[in-house]
Chains A and B, each alone.
Chain A
Amino acid sequence: MPTIDIQYFKEDSFVHRLHPFTKVLFEIAVLVTAAAFNEPLFLAVVILAIVGVAALSKIPARKFRYMWVLTYIVLFMVITQGVWFTSFGDFGDIDVEFEWRTLFHLWPAWAPGGPRIPVILEGANYGFSLGLRVVAISLAFPILVLTTHPSDLTRFLSQIRIASWRIPYNVIFVFTTAFRYIPTVSREFDQTLDAQRSRGVHFGGYNPIRQIRVVMTLFVPVLTSSLLSAHDLTLALETRAFGAPTERTFIHEVHWRKADWGVTALLIIIVVACLFLANRYGLGVLPYTPQRNI
C-alpha cells in the first residue's frame, strides 16, 4: 500500500533554512509557470527544476514514491483529451487548414458497427501537458511541508495578516497538529492490523467484496479510537488554557535571511520571464490551445 508520508523531514539543507514565506512563493511560482506553458517539453523543464529543488533539500526519493499514482492521472488525461479534444474545444481563429492527425481508432476497423472513436495526436499531446501540470504541482507542494518544521509553519501562519484579519489560532493549531498525529494514528493502525490478523483475518487476496469487509475491520477501530483521542485532546487543551481570552504569545521565531531575498528575487525574475515569453512570443504554448477549456 503506498503511504503518503508528508511529514517534516529533519535535515539541514539550503531549502530547510529558507523562510516559510519564501517556500510559499516557490509554490506560487510553480503554479504560475506550470499554468503559463502547455508544451510538454517546457513543462518537463519546470518539473526538472522542481526535482532539482527536491534534491537540493536532501529529501530522499522514497518520500515521493507514492507519486506513481500520478501516472494514472496522466494516462487518463491523455486518453480523454485524445478522444474529446476536437469535439469540445473552441479553437477560435486557428487556421482552418489545420489538419488533426489521427493516431489510431479505439474501435478497430474490422469490428462491426459503432463509431470508430479516433484518438487525435494533438489532443493526446494537450492531455499530456495537462497531466504534466498536475505532476509539477503535486511534486512541488510536499516540499514546503517536508522542509519546514511545523513550529516554523505555525509561527509563519500566525504572522499572516491581511489588514486587521489574521488566521485564527485554532485553525492553525488543527492544521499543524494534524501532522503530529501521523505517527500516533499509524501506530494505532499497526496495532489494529496485528489484532485482526491474530483473529485470522487475511489481508490481500482478490475477492473485492471480501476485501471491503476486511478493510472495515481496520477502519472502524482506527476511526473510533481517533475520535475518542480527539475528544480527550479537547479536554487536555482546555486544561492548558487553550483559547484563553488574552492574546497568545509565540516564543518561536522564524528568521528572514539574506538568502531569502536572493531566492525571492530569482523567483520573481523567473516567473516574469516565463509569463513574458509565453504571452508575448507564444513560447512553450501549443498552437492549438483551446480558448475555452473543456
Chain B
Amino acid sequence: MKDSNVVVEELTFFYSGAKEPALSDINLTFQRGEIALLIGATGAGKSTLYMCLNGLIPHLVPGRVGGRVLIEGTATSDQSISALAQKVGFVFQSPDVQLFSHTVREELAFGPENLGLAKSEILRRIQLAATTIGITELLEREPAYLSGGQQQSVAIGAIWAMLPEILILDEPTSNLDPQSSRRVLELIRALNTEHGKTILIAEHKIDAAAHFADSVLVMHEGRIEMQGEPRQVFSQAEELHRMGLVAPTAAEVAFQLSKYGYTFDSWPLTAEEGIQAFGELL
C-alpha cells in the first residue's frame, strides 16, 4: 500500500432501529493528494459515508457499525471528533447552516479557537485561509448577507483554517448559478492540484466535475457499485442508467454512437474531448 490517508475496510452501518443497512460492505482507499468524485442518487448512502469519514459516526450518530475506517492510519473510533476535525474537513451542501458567525474573520477563526491554538497561530491561519481561498476582501463582512458563491467559499475557508489533509464536499454547487459553480469547482480543483489535499466531492453537475477527478465512486443502495478511473466508469453508461444516474454529456453521446457500431480509443468526458472524438468520425 502506498501513501494512503483514508482506508475503509468492510464498513457496514445500521442507523439505530433500522432493519436495512445504510451502508454495506464498503471498501475504499484514497491516496494522499487524490481527488475522488462520488455520485449516487438521493438516499444512496452518500451522507452516511461522509459521517463515517469525519467521525460523526460512531461518535455522535447512534447506530451499529461493522468494519473500520482509518484516517491517517488510526481508526476513527479511537480518535475524538475534534481530533478528526483537524484531519478531515467537511463542507455542507447548504452554506446557511455552516456559517454561524457574525463576521467572515470570526468564521475562519472559529475552528482554531476551539482547538485552543495560540493567538498568533490563529491570526496566521486566518490570513492563510483568506488568501488561499481569495476572500481577503470579505473578512469584515457578515456571512449571512453574502452571495451563495461567496458563502460557499467562506465555508471552504473556515475548513481550510483547520489545515485538514482531507476535504469532503457535499454537492457544494447545488444552490449556485453557473458562473459561481464554475468558480467554486475551480477553487476546489486548485486546492487539490496546488496544495495536494485529498478531496472527496459529491456532485450532481458531473459535466463540470467529471474530468478533474482521479477516480469515481458510484454508490447505490448503500453499496459502492462501481469504482475506478472516470473514463472507465463513465464508459459504462448502461450500468449508470440502471442506478438512475447519467454520465457526462460527451460520454452519453459516445454511448449512443457506440450502439451504431462506432468505437472510441479514449472515451470522451469533457466537451473538448467530445468535440475531438466526434470530429474524427466526421
Are A and B physically bound partners? yes
Bound Cα distance A176, B114 (Å): 16
Ranked nearest first, the 8 interchain pairs of A and B with the lowest CB-CB distance are: A246-B116, A244-B82, A241-B82, A232-B97, A236-B98, A241-B114, A241-B85, A240-B111
Q: Which residues of B contact A245 (CB under 8 A)?
A: 80, 82
Pick the residue among B82, B89, B94, B162 that contacts A243 (CB under 8 A): B82
Assuming the A-B contacts A150-B102, A151-B102, A241-B111, are A232 and B92 also in contact, with contact meaning beta carbons closer than 8 angstroms in the complex?
yes
Q: Provide the residues of chain B in CB contact with A233, threshold 8 Å.
A: 97-98, 100
A115, chain B: closest CB distance, angstroms: 58
B: which residues have CB within 8 A of A? 51, 54, 56, 60, 80-82, 85-86, 88-90, 92, 94, 96-98, 100-103, 106, 109-119, 122-123, 126, 144-145, 158-159, 162
Q: Does B144 contact A184, Cβ atoms closer than 8 Å? A: yes
On whether the beta carbons of A244 and B56 are closer than 8 Å, the reply is no
B162 touches A249 (CB 8 A): no
A252 CB–B CB distance under 8 Å? yes
Q: Are B118 and A249 in contact (CB under 8 A)?
A: yes
CA distance A229 to B116 in the complex (A): 27
- Residue numbers of A with Cβ under 8 A of B are 8, 149-151, 176-177, 179-181, 183-184, 229, 232-233, 235-252
A-B contact pairs, 10 of them (CB 8 A): A8-B102, A177-B100, A236-B92, A239-B56, A240-B114, A241-B82, A242-B114, A243-B114, A249-B122, A252-B109
Given that A244-B114, A247-B116 are known contacts, is A183 also in contact with B90, CB under 8 Å in the complex? no
* Bound: A235/B118 CA distance, A: 25
Q: CB within 8 A of B96: which of A176, A229, A235, A237?
A: A229
Does B89 lie within 8 Å of A151, measured CB to CB?
no
Known pairs A239-B89, A244-B82, A246-B116 / 20 extra A-B pairs, C-beta < 8 Å: A151-B102, A180-B144, A184-B96, A184-B144, A232-B97, A232-B98, A236-B98, A238-B56, A239-B88, A240-B111, A240-B114, A241-B82, A242-B82, A242-B114, A244-B114, A244-B116, A249-B119, A251-B119, A251-B122, A251-B126
CB distance from B59 to the nearest CB of A (A): 8
Cα-based distance from A239 to B98 in the complex (angstroms): 10
Residues of B within 8 A of A237 (CB): 100
Q: Which residues of B contact A241 (CB under 8 A)?
A: 81-82, 85-86, 111, 114-115, 162
Given the contacts A183-B144, A239-B85, A241-B86, A248 and B113 also touching, CB distance less than 8 Å: yes
Return B130 CB to nearest CB of chain A, in Å.
14
